[in-house]
Amino acid sequence: MIDGSTTKGFAEPSQASLYAQHLKLYSANCFDVAEACNGFIRSLNLAYLIFNSSKTMKDNYILLINNE
């Protein structure tokens, strides 16, 4: 789970981990991309690279979150 939004209520824990907890995705890897307006594009690029870098990712999902 990757959160690429600029709205940060606090620094720790990551916003993505809070969304994962709310969705009951307890084993999800989560991180935020804090890069102002380009955060969603950077998140999308990272998700693409992660998804295509491993053959084991073919059976998994990546959830991108962006809110302003």
Percent of the chain with pLDDT over 90: 9
Residue 65 identity (one-letter amino acid): I
Transcribe the chain into DSSP letters. -EE--S--S-SSS-HHHHHHHHTT-TT---EE---GGGHHHHHHHHHHHHHHH-GGGGGS---EE---
Residue 44 in this model has a pLDDT that exceeds 70: yes
Kindly report the pTM of this predicted structure. 0.75
| 7-25 mean pLDDT | 83
Say which residues have a Cβ less than 8 Å from residue 64's Cβ, sequence separation at least 6: 2, 4, 40, 43, 44, 47
List the domain boundaries for the chain: 2-65
CA distance 35 to 40: 8
